[in-house]
Amino acid sequence: MAEQPVFLLGEGLSALEPAAFDTEVEFQALLARHPRILDFGSLADGRPLRLFLVAREMRVPTGNESGSTYWLDHLFVDADGVPTLVEVKRAADTRIRREVVGQMLDYAANGARYWPAALLQRTFEESCAMDGRPLEDAYRELLGGQSPEEFWVTVEERLAAGRMRLLFVADRIPLELRAIVEFLNRQLRQTDVYAVELTQYRGSGDHRVLVPRVHGEVATANKTQSGSGQAARRWTRADMDAALESRSPEQRQAALALLDHAESAGRTVGNRAGYPSFSVYFPAAGREVPVWTLSLREDPDRDDLAFSFGSITNHLGREATSAFADALPEVEGLRQKIAAQREKGFTGWPAVSLAALSARPGALRQVLAAIERLMGGGAP
């Protein structure tokens, strides 16, 4: 049966007929300009959901230093710090049936690993500038009294815990995709999955009507309270100390020295990642600046110390970050990462293996000295 028109009643009666989107690019641009089309549901405190665009065509790396191989159509975030990943396809694209699901899961898995808070914050602020949105206005509704840095750390933690929404948007949602969405929603406790069918109707002149229809809400509503409604707990210093008991004496000594220095000179924040993780803010130039994150993985060989170059640059400028980078030790792999960051404008999170850091004599002292100089505002 042919789809029926909708009718616009004004001075007369105008029929608006179903009309396909001309291109996928047009479809994507529409959602980027008007995210309210996707505002269904509510926040944790009952307020209506509002989505804010972080980026269109968001780069999704597959490794800390590798080139980006994936591109997510849209990344949004809400005032609870919950990220929303959106993939857009027209019904004419056969990938909408099954292939898009594997695509989206790739994006979610790698975004959770390789989208640090500093990158998300920088990307959001760059998108605001490109779209002509005053940053103060964009943040007013988003932050709820937090600082931008605290908010984006929350977003990073949500990602690490798998707390996110995955949205498949198309002008026609096939039954195969609906079945997969409902299945995923029943299985995933932290992640909500939806398919949004967006039908467009056109009439004479500039008249257009957009009608979204959401699939997956029933399965989401049936999730238990212990699922997506609760955030993972923050790791504590006791958790970090306990995890370090299984490390080599050298790695344990290096990590404890970092944590002790952080507690005496800065402010520590336990993250909500899937492994013990601490981030540290140090005072510099009258601000609290995120400087490093220590992560203790399941495999001790993958323990690392990541430096938050993007946040340092945002707070103190590129020259200060460059001086800080120059003061860091010559440790295996770190110099190459710093060189790559220098070319990119110091916007990333270069990491050094805790094993490599602890194995090089004097390296830890250099890291602590570099932090002290950064706090003092002096050049190395």
Spell out, as residue ranges, where the chain has pLDDT lower than 70.
1-3, 63-68, 91-96, 217-233, 272-274, 377-380
Measure Cα distances from 329 to 79, 284, 359, 365 in Å.
39, 21, 12, 9
pLDDT, one tens digit per residue, over 119-157 is: 898 899 888 888 888 888 888 888 877 788 888 988 988
Q: What is the pLDDT at residue 220?
A: 55
CA quadruple 166, 211, 130, 143: dihedral positive or negative? negative
Amino acid present at 31: L
pLDDT, one tens digit per residue, over 158-190 is: 888 888 999 999 888 888 888 898 888 888 888
| Interacting residues of 179 by C-beta distance below 8 A, sequence separation 6+ | none
Cα distance between residue 164 and residue 112, in whole Å: 9
Residue 171 corresponds to which tokens in the numbers above?
């002008």
Residue 116 corresponds to which tokens in the numbers above?
């640090």
Cα distance between residue 148 and residue 166, in whole Å: 24
Q: What is the DSSP string of 198-248?
A: EEEEE-STT-EEEEEEEESHHHHHTS-TTSTTSPPPPP-HHHHHHHHTTS-
Q: What is the pLDDT at residue 221?
A: 52
Total Cβ atoms within 10 A of residue 322: 19
